[in-house]
Amino acid sequence: MAPKPRVVVTRRLPEAVEARLAAAFDATLNPEDRPLPREELTRAMREADGVLVAVNDAVNAELLATPGRRVRIVSNFGVGVNNIDLAAAKAAGVAVGNTPGVLTDATADIALALILAATRRMSETEAILRAGGWDGFRPTGWLGMGLQGKTLGILGMGRIGAATARRAALGFGMRIAYFNRSPTGPFDFPAEALPTVEAVLAAADVVSLHVPGGGANRGLLSAGRIAGMKRGAYLVNTARGDIVDEAALAAALARGHLAGAGLDVYAEEPKVPEALLRLPNVTLLPHIGSATLETRTAMGMLAVDNLAAFFAGEEMPSRVA
């Protein structure tokens, strides 16, 4: 019997996923769930046939060029692959898989939660209550913005963007304006495609980001584009942190140009800019957009499906390089 392929897993995964990995492969798991130091990732590239990595594992050209590299597949636990140098992987003949589709609903739910938290000032008011600063009901206390009839601007009308828009349109009666680089739709809810990012930003009361990180999208929401948002608007980001100029966002929030924001992702995770941490009108989450047991298990199973198909010489269900 041929030996099982050796797979190194960089983070702890749901129990059912790890059980499958242990049965199918000679798997090195990470029960302590500690980020692997660079030297351990480098050793894995030399000693394993495949690696299952998380979105905070940088698989760059240098790592892919590890002398004596044995790894032939990188299976990414996540949809976004801006942590992986796809061009270098392709040049090196290393396959790359990701986990789209299975986290759509969970991430759209968090986007809606952040929209509500930002527009109804939930983080700010909870902090005041916990600190003992609530002195009772006041008719004009902590007024936020209702969603009914307001415009939600979606940048990136893929699976997650469309699922977020659908919830907002059908559940809250919001108007939907969106920009997508390629034609998309039709949808089972009213939505208007606008010709540019700037047009969406100018029209929207709330902007929700759903584009991939890295590449051409790095810095997509620049200082100039933030300045072009409607005064008093809100920004929500459940996509990737590097899409946003975080310093410009903090400045716009501090001076009142933007009323609030809800963020689940950051440019240099797990680092969160101090300027954002200091602001009361920002809801900050620790990258939990897909963090349900059901979703994270499905993501892990798809990551394993990619590995299993590759080693069996079959087409990977979700290959990006």
Output the average pLDDT for the chain: 97
On the question of pLDDT at 1 being above 80, the answer is no
Amino acid identity, residue 195? P
pLDDT tens digit sequence for 22-33: 999 999 999 999
0.85 exceeded by pTM: yes
- CA–CA dist 240, 213 (Å, integer): 5
Q: What is the pLDDT of residue 170?
A: 98
Amino acid identity, residue 247? A
On the question of pLDDT at 42 being above 90, the answer is yes
What does the angle CA 77 – CA 81 – CA 85 come to, to the nearest 5 degrees?
Answer: 125
Describe the crossing of helices 104-119 and 293-311 by its angle, rounded to 10 degrees: 150
Q: Give the closest residue to 107 by CA, choosing from 164, 173, 182.
A: 164
Beta bridge partners of 261: 235, 282
pLDDT tens digit sequence for 210-227: 999 988 999 999 999 999
Q: What is the pLDDT of residue 214?
A: 87
* The two structure tokens encoding residue 176: 């939907």
On the question of pLDDT at 12 being above 80, the answer is yes
Measured over all CA atoms, what is the biggest interatomic distance in the chain, rounded to whole angstroms? 75
Cα-based distances in Å from 257 to 10, 123, 262, 273: 41, 19, 15, 19
Cα-based distances in Å from 283 to 27, 45, 131, 202: 38, 38, 17, 23
Q: 6-102+293-311 and 104-284 share one CATH topology?
A: yes
Q: What is the pLDDT of residue 244?
A: 98
DSSP 71-115: --EEEEESS--TTB-HHHHHHHT-EEE---STTHHHHHHHHHHHH
104-284 topology per CATH: Rossmann fold (3.40.50)
Domain residue ranges of the chain, discontinuous segments joined by +: 6-102+293-311, 104-284
- CA–CA dist 311, 280 (Å, integer): 50
Residue 236 near residue 230, CB atoms below 8 Å: no
Cα-based distances in Å from 89 to 71, 72, 97, 140, 311: 11, 9, 11, 57, 17
| CATH 3.40.50.720 is the classification of domain 6-102+293-311 | yes
Give the residue numbers annotated as catalytic, written as ranges.
Answer: 240, 269, 287
Beta bridge partners of 175: 151
* pLDDT > 70: percent of the chain: 100
pLDDT tens digit sequence for 109-128: 999 999 999 999 999 999 99
Helix, strand and coil content of the chain, in percent to the nearest 5, comes to 35, 20, 45
On the question of pLDDT at 98 being above 80, the answer is yes
